[in-house]
Amino acid sequence: MTVESLVDDFSSLGFQAIELNKASDVVMKMKQSGAKIFLTFTSNMVTTGLRGFFAQLVKLGMADVLVTTSASLEEDIIKSLGDKVELSSFHADDVAMRERGENRIGNLAIRTESYMKFEDKMLEFLEKIYEKKKRIDVSELIKELGLMLGDENSILYQAARNDVPIFCPGIADSAIGFHLYMFQQKHPDFIVDVIRDVNNIILASSYDEKKGLISLGGSISKHYAIFSGLMNGGFDYAVYLTTSHASSGSMSGATTKEAMSWGKIKDSASAATVNGDVTINFPLVMIRAMEKLRKQGILK
């Protein structure tokens, strides 16, 4: 059985299986209509190992704009340097992990040594960028970093190479934000402009072109993208994959229906929401859609 036939059969299973099948159909419609596709994801998706899959999606033209959180950038760079995220346990001895120099993310672990290598490499990269320009937009900074990586499995590298902008409105957070802060202490005239990227993401699409949103999780990355869509008349297609529910009132749990009340998603939009683990659901949604698009000659 192929992934395509498996997810085809989900259409008659009920519950979230039907929504997953519908989500894959909506992704297909995005590509078939020539819509500009916004893909948003939180950093834990990169931690899990979906990093290479995201890079492949960019390479294959399944995403035109990326929006993510700051730790995605640093973990992509860390993995490009040859370090790995290791399997741990949700029930690990965290005190013992701390003593061994391990940092837990759910049932995964990243060694402190990896962040030390990252710090050295970031300093090297930032010095080179600083020589070229003293004021830089966040998306432009990320592209410069990606071009210096040269790793085919890197999201930043594939995005830079394929001219897909990456927006990170919360870049001041996490280790990468701290290293930018430390670099600015040494070079006070070095400015990373977060606000100018608001203009850049709005201009990344237009009012007249069709727009699609694939949002994994929620957080600032999801809202930043759908707000830009609001500025351009709303999204024509939307797929949400999340473990959160609307009862929390959070952005992560906010439904496509709720987004319509704001005009972020059009009233006539094709939309689907899948509640469940994104590490399982997202590959199924995308692989099935891509298998069908390839048969249609839309995807190489």
Q: How far apart are CA 22 and CA 11, in angstroms?
A: 7
Q: How far apart are CA 57 and CA 84, in angstroms?
A: 21
- Which of 40, 125, 39 lies closest to 77, judged by CA? 125
264 is catalytic: yes
Alpha-carbon distances, residue 68 vs 108, 149, 222 (angstroms): 20, 18, 8
Token reading at 90 = 């949700």
Q: Which residues, in sequence order, are CB contacts of 290 under 8 Å at separation 6+?
A: 60, 62, 299
Contact assessment for residue 235 and residue 269, using Cβ atoms and an 8 Å cutoff: yes
Determine the angle formed by the axes of helices 278-295 and 51-59, rounding to 10 degrees: 20
Spell out a b/e string for 155-177, using b for 16 or more CB atoms within 10 Å of the CB, else e. Answer: bbbbbbbeebbbbbbbbeebbbb
Alpha-carbon distances, residue 8 vs 5, 17, 68 (angstroms): 5, 10, 30
Rg (CA), the chain: 19
Q: Quickly list H helices, 33-80.
A: 43-45, 51-59, 70-80
**Residue of 36, 143, 264, 266 with catalytic role:** 264
- Which of 192, 197, 147 lies closest to 167, judged by CA? 197
Active-site residues: which are they?
264
